[in-house]
Structure 1
C-alpha cells in the first residue's frame, strides 16, 4: 500500500515568535506564475465597501485592472491557518533521510482569517470556498465514535423496513 508523502512539521521556531498574518492572507480568483518577493501592499489595496452580503462584510480591490469583491472570514473553530516553508537539512539530520522521512517543514507564519475574492459577483454563503468549510463538520461527525446502543437501534430499524 502506498504511504503517500511523509514528512515532519516543526511547530516551534527555536524560541522565535511566529509572525501573525491575520488580515493579510488573500485567496485570489487567478493563477500567478511568480514565486518571489514583491511589494504587494504598494499595488493591492483592498478597501471596505460598507455593504454587507449575506452577513459578510464586503471589500473591494483591483488586481491587474480587474475589480474584485471579497470578504474576510475566520478560520473555523478548532482549526488553524499556517504558512509552511520547507526546511533545508544539515548533516546531523541527514540520518532521517535514510529512514524515508526527507520532507521537513517549519511554520513561517500563522493566520486566523482569510480574505477570499470573487471576480464577477458579491461574496455569498453559496461560494464554493465557504461551502468547503461545511466538510470540516461532516468529517468530524464521521470520525466520532458511535455508541453500541445506536448501532442496535439502527439495525432494528433497518430490519423493520425489510
Structure 2
C-alpha cells in the first residue's frame, strides 16, 4: 500500500524592513455566495455598502446589493489578540533540493492584515444568532481549553469533587 504524501508549507507573517503592513480593515467582506473568478475586478464600482440607519442586537445594520439581491450586514471587530491576514503565494522560484523530496512545498507571504470585517446575510438582517457571529464564541472556548492549569485550579477542582 502506497503512503499518501501531504503538502508542506510555510506562512511568513513578517514584513520586510522597507515595507509597511497594509491594513485593509473595513474592506474585508464575507458574502453569502461563491464567486468563481480569480483575478482583478472593479468591485468598488458596483458594490457600495451604506448604513441603513438602524441597530439590531447592538449591531449597526448596513445594506448593499450584489447581482440584484439585497444584502444586510454589519461590521464587526475581531476579538482582542486576534488578527486576520491576507496571504499570497510567494513564487520566488528558489527551492532547496531537500524540499523536492518532501513533496510539494508552498511558501505564503502576508500581503495585508485586518482587524474588522463585514459579514452579509441575504434574506435577514444581522443578529447575535447568526452562525457566523456565533462561531466567534469558539475563541473563548479555545482560550479556556489551552489555558495552563494552576495549582489553585487543581485544589479547587479537588475540593469540588470531594463535596459531591
What TM-score does the superposition give when structure 1 sets the normalisation length? 0.87
**SS state of the match for residue 26, structure 2?**
coil
**Corresponding position of 2:78:** 75
- CA separation of 1:37 and 1:141: change in aligned 2, threshold 3 A: same
- CA separation of 1:5 and 1:126: change in aligned 2, threshold 3 A: farther
**Corresponding position of 2:115:** 112
Query: Root-mean-square deviation (CA), in Å?
Result: 2.2
Gaps (5+ residues) in structure 1? none
Gaps (5+ residues) in structure 2? none
Q: CA deviation at 1:13?
A: 3.7
2:28 aligned with 1:22: no
Measure, in 2, the Cα distance between the counterparts of 1:5 and 1:130. Answer: 31
**Corresponding position of 2:11:** 9
**Corresponding position of 2:91:** 88
| Deviation sequence 1:90-147 (CA, Å, 0-9, x none) | 23x4346247471210011111200000111111111111111111011011111112
Measure, in 2, the Cα distance between the counterparts of 1:26 and 1:78. Answer: 20
Aligned length: 159
Is this contact kept in 2: 1:13–1:107, CA < 8 A?
A: yes
- CA separation of 1:107 and 1:156: change in aligned 2, threshold 3 A: same
Is this contact kept in 2: 1:96–1:102, CA < 8 A?
A: no
Measure, in 1, the Cα distance between the counterparts of 2:5 and 2:82. Answer: 25
- CA separation of 1:82 and 1:56: change in aligned 2, threshold 3 A: same
2:137 aligned with 1:134: yes
Matches within 5 A, 1:46-61: 46-61=49-64
Measure, in 2, the Cα distance between the counterparts of 1:70 and 1:41. Answer: 17
